[in-house]
Chain A
Amino acid sequence: MNAHVARLSTASFETGPAVVVSNLVRSYGSRVVIEKLNLRIERGEFVALLGESGCGKTTLLRALAGLDSIQGGRIVAPRRPAVVFQEHRLLPWDSLWRNVSLGLQVPDARERAAEALTEVGLGDRLDDWPRNLSGGQAQRVALARALVQQPELLLLDEPFAALDALTRIRMHELVRELVTNHQPGVLLVTHDVDEAIALADRILVMRHGAIAFEHRVVRGASAPISRSELLGELGVNSHSTH
Chain B
Amino acid sequence: MELSGIDRTVIGADSAPSSQSGDNAFAPTATKSKLGARGLQLLSWLAPVVLVVIWEWLAQAGWLSPHVLPAPSKVIRTAFKLAATGTLLNDLGVSLLRAAAGFAIGAAVGGALGILVGFSRVAEAAIDRSVQMIRAIPFLAALPLVIVWLGVGETQKIFLVALGVTFPIYINTVLGIRQVDPKLLELGRVQGLSSLQLIRRIILPGALPSILTGVRYALATAWLALVVAETIGAQSGIGFLAMDAREFLRTDVIVLTIVIYALIGVAADGIARFLERRLLAWHPNYGAAR
Chain A residues in the interface with B (C-beta under 8 A): 65-67, 80, 82-83, 85, 87, 89, 91-94, 102-103, 128-131, 145, 149
Contacts and interface: CB of A to CB of B under 8 A. Distances in A.
B184 A103 contact: no
Contacts of A80: 190, 192
Contacts of B205: 91, 93-94
From B187, B190, B201, B206, name the one whose CB has the most chain A CB atoms within 10 angstroms. Answer: B190
Interface of B: 183-184, 186-193, 197, 201-202, 205-206, 208, 280, 282-284, 290
Given A131-B282, A131-B284, A91 B189 contact: no
Contact of B191 (A103, A128, A129): A103
Contacts of A131: 282, 284
Contacts of A94: 201, 205, 282
Contact of A91 (B186, B197, B202, B290): B202
Contacts of B208: 93
Nearest to A145: B191
Nearest to B287: A129
A93 to B, nearest CB: 4
Nearest to A87: B183
Nearest to A104: B191
Contacts of A89: 183-184, 186-187
A67 B282 contact: no
Contacts of A149: 191
From A83, A102, A131, name the one whose CB has the most chain B CB atoms within 10 angstroms. Answer: A102
A83 B188 CA distance: 11
Contacts of B189: 66-67
A-B pairs with lowest CB-CB distance, top 6: A103-B191, A93-B205, A93-B282, A89-B187, A103-B192, A83-B190
Given A83-B190, A93-B282, 7 more contacts: A66-B189, A67-B189, A83-B187, A87-B183, A92-B283, A103-B192, A145-B191
A103 B282 contact: no
B191 A102 contact: yes
23 contacts: A66-B189, A67-B186, A67-B189, A80-B190, A82-B190, A83-B187, A83-B190, A85-B183, A87-B183, A89-B183, A91-B201, A91-B202, A92-B283, A93-B282, A93-B283, A94-B201, A102-B188, A102-B191, A103-B193, A128-B290, A129-B290, A131-B282, A131-B284
Contacts of B190: 65-67, 80, 82-83
B127 to A, nearest CB: 28
Nearest to A79: B192
Contacts of B206: 93
A61 to B, nearest CB: 11
B282 A92 contact: yes
A93 B285 CA distance: 13
Nearest to B279: A93
Contacts of B290: 128-129
Contacts of A130: 282
Contacts of B191: 102-103, 145, 149
Given A91-B202, A92-B282, A102 B193 contact: yes
A91 B282 CA distance: 10
Contacts of B197: 103
